[in-house]
Amino acid sequence: MDRWYKIERRPGSWLVTVDRGKNAAGKRVRTCRTVHGDASAADVVGAEMYALTKPQRDRTVAGKMKFSDFAQAWLENFALMVRRGERSNATLERYQKIARDHLVPTLGMLDIGKVTEDDVRRAVATWRAMSRKDRKKGLLSERTVGHLLALTSSILEDARRQKRVLFNVARDVSVRKPEIVSHGVVYKRAGLLE
């Protein structure tokens, strides 16, 4: 049964809990947060938390969720942090654009629990070959590809915390090229090649 409730721990301190039912393994799933203030402040936070978990409840079928759906829920949670003043609105807009233009087209149809390191490496290769979306000529820079990978890693790390994946497969993927050519000398990342 999906619901939320609040318990006063001590005067001015409330424990707000969203009960999201049971996962595929039959384990109860809850999200809790401590709120300082009066009962109406706890009511506002409880309603926001419940609203944020609704997309996850609607999209989750037998414990499965697509990467695109989880990324959308992650962005909705980020939007809540923006409303609370913890994050910048410009950052949210940038993340939404990155997710729409790059992450969802490359990783969106995969089940979040089945994303592999090879899937992330293929996404990085796809991003390197993508043209820019800002009407300028050329391909995405290595720095931009690094930003895309960092956001992918953040999303997968949150999925790991929520126990939707065992570990963050994007953490060990690097965007740096294995070789650097400078003035005719080829360097490998670990040292000098012959």
The neighbour count for residue 190, using CB atoms within 10 Å, is: 7
Strand partners, 35: 14
- Are 12 and 38 within 8 A, CB to CB? yes
Do residues 140 and 128 make contact, with C-beta atoms less than 8 angstroms apart?
yes
Does the pTM surpass 0.95? The reply is no
d(C-alpha 99, C-alpha 39), whole Å: 36
Q: Closest by alpha carbon to 27, among 39, 15, 19, 36?
A: 19
From first to last of its 194 residues, what are the pLDDT tens digits of the chain? 467 888 888 899 999 888 877 766 778 878 888 999 898 888 888 888 777 766 554 444 335 789 999 999 999 999 998 988 889 999 999 999 999 999 999 999 999 888 888 999 999 999 988 888 777 788 888 888 899 999 999 999 998 888 888 888 888 887 766 566 666 676 665 544 33
User: Which residue type, as a one-letter code, is found at position 147?
Assistant: H
